Amino acid sequence: MRQIEWSSLDGQGRLDALARPTRRTDGEVAEIVATIFAEVDQRGGAAVADWAERIDGARPRRIAITDQAVAEARAALPPADTRALRVAAENVRVFHQFTRPEDSAWVETTPGVRSRLVWRPIRSAGIYVPGGTAPLFSSLLMQAIPAQVAGVGDRVVVTPPTRDGGVHPAMIVAAGEAGLDAIWLIGGAQAIAALTFGAVLDDGEIPACDKLFGPGNAFVAEAKKQASTLTGGPAVDMPAGPSELMVIADRDADPEIVAADLLSQAEHDADAQVILVSPSRTVIAQTMAAVERQLETLPRAEIARASLAEARAVLVADLAAAVEVANLYGPEHLSLQVEDAEALVPALTAAGAVFVGRWAAETLGDYAAGPSHVLPTDGAARTLGGLTTASFMTSMSVQQVTQKGAQALAPIAARLARLEGLEAHARAADLRMAP
């Protein structure tokens, strides 16, 4: 974990200190993804299957989410696990129902001219759920349920198979809670390519989707990026690559809790990045020692250690400087382990999700608090928010104009059109001025 003294750095030095892991922008990753996309574009499902066998170790499979399949999956899990899944699903549903955008009221800007915004669900959503080394069924709940609340007609869920080519029963239970008909066992850039171009496979067809969602590793993030640049290709939710967590800790923070929070994200992926920011040298030293102690008994210690190679411990002059660091970095997750955590929130401008105070563990947000844990990474939080029900919807303005309203506003529009040199526009307005 690299230690940095913030006040000793110039502007470029500060940017360098907060740089993301280089693998996220590795040219080799981009080249491999481009190759996969080109082959899937040319050969369709055959190329998807070939890459799936090569990378996932198994051909793509469609898992039907029937009542029987869900019942069998529930029976394979301890009752406490299935209850926890249900509570998490319900909390996600409640939050997203409450925050679902509603059509606005009419706004009359000129007598006889009124407008409003109306919201509509997108037609189809391609939802990527990370997996492979760990079954991230929570990411299924955090995406498929908001899409359901939004009213999306076609939700296509893809997730990597387990090491034996199967699916964890918790993933099937989560799919049942989300009301899905099926999930596809396929991961990586090949899954994103299938959602982008569509693919006919042994078990059925994955349709080309209008918009792609979900977090993933460097290959998945790059695949979504390349998909969004294709002419007529899908939109994407946000850059949602390997996990990030920044913890701001003051002298009253508990180093054991801070260390546990840092490791909770470091264990995700070798490309994950965790950053500690504190005005206390003592807290930094004690936290780093706690990280080493906790690593000794962590099952995914090897992954966490690889992530910690890209970790930072930043010493700042005060909490105002800590907020400056957070806003510059734009973390996916930001934990405020300070005495008066709420007081820092108004000054924050760039974070995917903020966890206020020692009791607000980022893990609670990951699984069961309600807001989606699909959040922007790589600094995108400076301009983008996390996944919400609105992410699965579009807004349209609806305008109504009476004859009186047209006669009042058309002369203004016609004059402005002619000022721009657009005579046809002006004439279309002129025709509305006649009594």
Q: Quick one: 229 and 312 in the same domain?
A: no
Average confidence (pLDDT) over 298-303: 94
pLDDT by residue (tens digit) across 74-115? Answer: 999 999 999 999 999 999 999 999 999 999 999 999 999 999
More confident residue, 198 or 162: 198
Average confidence (pLDDT) over 424-431: 96
Domain boundary among 209, 240, 271: 240
Which amino acids are annotated catalytic? 332-333
pLDDT over threshold 90, residue 191: yes
Looking at the domain assignment, is residue 386 inside a domain?
Answer: no
Q: Quick one: 409 and 419 in the same domain?
A: yes
Provide the pLDDT for residue 199.
Answer: 97
Looking at the domain assignment, is residue 55 inside a domain?
Answer: yes
Looking at the domain assignment, is residue 376 inside a domain?
Answer: no
Q: Quick one: 213 and 246 in the same domain?
A: no
Q: Quick one: 190 and 139 in the same domain?
A: yes
Q: Quick one: 72 and 209 in the same domain?
A: yes
Q: By percentage, how much of the chain surpasses pLDDT 70?
A: 99
Looking at the domain assignment, is residue 393 inside a domain?
Answer: no
Q: Quick one: 93 and 122 in the same domain?
A: yes
Q: Quick one: 189 and 257 in the same domain?
A: no
**Helix/strand/coil (H/E/C) assignment for every residue in the chain:** CEEEEHHHCCHHHHHHHCCCCHHHHCHHHHHHHHHHHHHHHHHCHHHHHHHHHHHCCCCCEEEECCHHHHHHHHHCCCHHHHHHHHHHHHHHHHHHHHCCCCCCCCEEEECCEEEEEEEEECCEEEEECCCCCCCCHHHHHHHHHHHHHHCCCEEEEEECCCCCCCCCHHHHHHHHHCCCCEEEECCHHHHHHHHHHCEEECCEEECCCCEEECCCCHHHHHHHHHHHCCCCCCEECCCCCCCEEEEEECCCCCHHHHHHHHHHHHCCCCCCEEEEEECCHHHHHHHHHHHHHHHCCCCCHHHHHHHHCCCEEEECCCHHHHHHHHHHHCCCEEEEECCCHHHHHHHCCCCCEEEECCCCCHHHHHHCCCCCCCCCCCCHHHCCCCCCHHHHEEEEEEEEECHHHHHHHHHHHHHHHHHCCCHHHHHHHHCCCCC
Domain boundary among 220, 240, 260: 240
Q: How many domains does the chain have?
A: 3
Q: Quick one: 363 and 415 in the same domain?
A: no
Q: How confident is the model at residue 203 (pLDDT cuts 50, 70, 90)?
A: very high
Instruction: Write the CATH number for 169.
Output: 3.40.50.1980
Q: Quick one: 251 and 234 in the same domain?
A: no
Q: Quick one: 233 and 257 in the same domain?
A: no
Q: Quick one: 217 and 253 in the same domain?
A: no
Can you give the residue range of the structural domain that contains 103? 27-240
Looking at the domain assignment, is residue 144 inside a domain?
Answer: yes
pLDDT over threshold 80, residue 355: yes
Looking at the domain assignment, is residue 379 inside a domain?
Answer: no
pLDDT by residue (tens digit) across 115-163? Answer: 999 999 999 999 999 986 677 899 999 999 999 999 999 999 999 998 8
Looking at the domain assignment, is residue 385 inside a domain?
Answer: no
Provide the pLDDT for residue 132.
Answer: 66
Q: Quick one: 229 and 255 in the same domain?
A: no
Average confidence (pLDDT) over 412-423: 98
pLDDT over threshold 80, residue 411: yes
Global pTM value: 0.91
Looking at the domain assignment, is residue 155 inside a domain?
Answer: yes
Domain boundary among 212, 240, 268: 240
pLDDT by residue (tens digit) across 211-267? Answer: 999 988 889 989 999 999 999 999 999 988 788 999 999 999 999 999 999 999 999
